[in-house]
């Protein structure tokens, strides 16, 4: 696997650390402490935070690591852009220009799974809602009205841009004679893509989860239903569990999707880890005493 195929610097760091600090049998040649001293740092704490993803490297540290691992010029530029993307995502800033630059530079980039128009159609949470609204009975293409129907979570300008993006991607179309908007594929499912390491998907999920949080304060209990479940879980069954969730979503849609309704609702399901018992931080009776 090539270094530049990674989407996070943590994975890039971990890959190179194992590649250059272990022999062919996997035995450690250098510890993180050894590497820190070799690079001129008295303490391994800084590299440790980078290794665990708690922080991103400074430009100085990054160039030092590049030199140590003999990363070529092309790969260095790709990693620099990816780091900047990570920084902007954490600050909720736009990364569209960086993604465009990355896709031109890195043909193997996982960000190229969708083109820029498709990227924008998924990235903004309200675009898929707009697609659903277009197919609803009584839909009127009035951007101000739609803004109010969406509880003013988006502006009329954002509504207009969303519709333009949906037209560009072919998710909706305009009748050449009447000018009315219709959904291009009436049978399309409005379920966001899963398991794609794309910034578009991450930002879409963030937007939908933010709407769910707002619904706690804005709506009554009769208008929403929120559940949470904390359980002990065997990681070996993760693939089976995720498949069960996908099947549930499909069954839920088949049972309750009503083509004649103009009311749009959202079903979100999150499944994630609370704990991470790595060998370094595992809890046992020995290290408690």
Q: What is the pLDDT of residues 140-184, one digit of tens each?
A: 999 999 999 998 998 999 999 889 888 888 888 999 889 999 987
Scanning the structure block, which residue is given the tokens 């841009």?
161
Q: Give CB contacts under 8 A, 24+ apart, made by 113-120.
A: 113/196, 113/198, 114/198, 114/200, 117/165, 117/168, 117/169, 118/169, 118/200, 119/198, 119/199, 119/200, 120/96, 120/165, 120/200
Sketch the domain layout of the chain as residue ranges. Answer: 3-113, 118-256
59-80 tens-digit pLDDT:
999 999 999 999 989 889 989 9
67-114 tens-digit pLDDT:
999 998 988 998 999 899 888 877 767 777 787 787 777 665 544 334
Quote the CA–CA distance of 52 and 11 in Å, as a whole number.
Answer: 9
- Is this structure's pTM higher than 0.75? no
Q: What is the CB-side half-sphere exposure of residue 183 using CA atoms within 13 A? A: 19
Quote the CA–CA distance of 52 and 119 in Å, as a whole number.
Answer: 29
- Which tokens is 242 given? 């995720």
Q: What does residue 45 show for φ and ψ, rounded to 5 degrees?
A: -60, -40
Overall CATH class of domain 3-113: mainly alpha
């Amino acid at each position: 696997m090539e270094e530049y195929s990674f989407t996070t610097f943590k994975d890039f760091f971990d890959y190179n650390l194992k590649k250059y600090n272990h022999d062919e049998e996997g035995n450690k040649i250098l510890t993180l402490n050894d590497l820190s001293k070799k690079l001129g740092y008295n303490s391994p704490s800084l590299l440790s935070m980078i290794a665990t993803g708690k922080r991103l490297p400074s430009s100085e540290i990054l160039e030092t690591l590049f030199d140590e691992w003999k990363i070529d010029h092309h790969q260095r530029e790709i990693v620099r852009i990816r780091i900047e993307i990570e920084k902007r995502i954490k600050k909720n800033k736009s990364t569209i220009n960086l993604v465009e630059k990355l896709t031109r530079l890195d043909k193997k980039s996982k960000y190229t799974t969708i083109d820029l128009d498709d990227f924008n159609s998924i990235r903004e949470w309200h675009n898929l809602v707009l697609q659903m609204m277009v197919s609803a009975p009584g839909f009127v293409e009035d951007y101000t009205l739609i803004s109010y129907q969406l509880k003013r979570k988006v502006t009329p300008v954002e509504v207009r841009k969303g519709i333009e993006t949906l037209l560009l991607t072919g998710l909706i179309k305009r009748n050449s004679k009447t000018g009315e908007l219709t959904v291009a594929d009436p049978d399309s499912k409005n379920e966001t893509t899963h398991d794609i390491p794309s910034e578009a998907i991450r930002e879409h999920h963030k937007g939908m989860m933010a709407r769910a949080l707002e619904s706690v304060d804005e709506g009554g209990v009769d208008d929403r239903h929120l559940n949470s479940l904390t359980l002990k879980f065997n990681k070996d069954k993760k693939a089976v569990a995720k498949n069960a969730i996908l099947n549930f979503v499909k069954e839920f849609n088949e049972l309750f999707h009503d083509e004649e309704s103009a009311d749009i609702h959202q079903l979100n399901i999150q499944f994630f880890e609370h704990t991470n018992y790595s060998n370094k931080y595992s809890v046992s009776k020995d290290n408690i005493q």
